[in-house]
Amino acid sequence: MKKDVKNSVQIQGDQVVKTFIVGNRRRRRFRRERLALERLQGIDGIPQLLAFDENSLNLTMERIPGCSFEQAKSVDDDFFIRLGELVEAMLKRGVARHSMPPRDVIVRPDGTPGLVDYERITLRYMRYSPVWALSCMISRFHLLRLIGKHRPDLLTPAQKRKLGWQLKGQRLFRRWIEWRRAHFVEPER
Whether the CA torsion 35, 121, 148, 144 is positive or negative: it is positive
Residue 131: strand, helix, or coil: helix
In whole angstroms, give the CA distance from residue 174 to residue 140: 19
Q: What is the pLDDT of residue 30?
A: 93
Question: Would the pTM count as exceeding 0.75?
Answer: yes
Query: Are 106 and 67 spatial neighbours (Cβ–Cβ below 8 Å)?
Result: yes
pLDDT of residue 174: 81
Predicted pLDDT at 169: 80
User: Inter-axis angle of helices 157-183 and 130-150, to 10 degrees?
Assistant: 110
β-strand pairing of 113-115 with 58-62: unpaired
Q: Quote the pLDDT of residue 185.
A: 66
Tell me which residue of 72, 74, 70 sits closest to 102, measured CA to CA. Answer: 70
Q: What is the pLDDT of residue 187?
A: 59
> Which domains does the chain possess?
2-180 (1.10.510.10)
DSSP string computed for 49-77: EEEEETTTTEEEEE---SEETTT-S---H
CA–CA dist 134, 87 (Å, integer):
15
Instruction: Return the pLDDT at 180.
Output: 84
The one-digit pLDDT tens for each residue of the chain (189 residues) are 454 567 888 888 999 999 998 777 889 999 999 999 999 999 999 999 999 999 999 999 999 999 999 898 889 989 999 999 999 999 999 999 999 999 999 999 999 999 999 988 999 998 888 999 989 989 998 999 899 888 888 888 888 888 788 878 888 888 888 888 888 766 565
| Residues 49 and 61: beta-carbon distance below 8 Å | yes
Predicted pLDDT of residue 3:
46
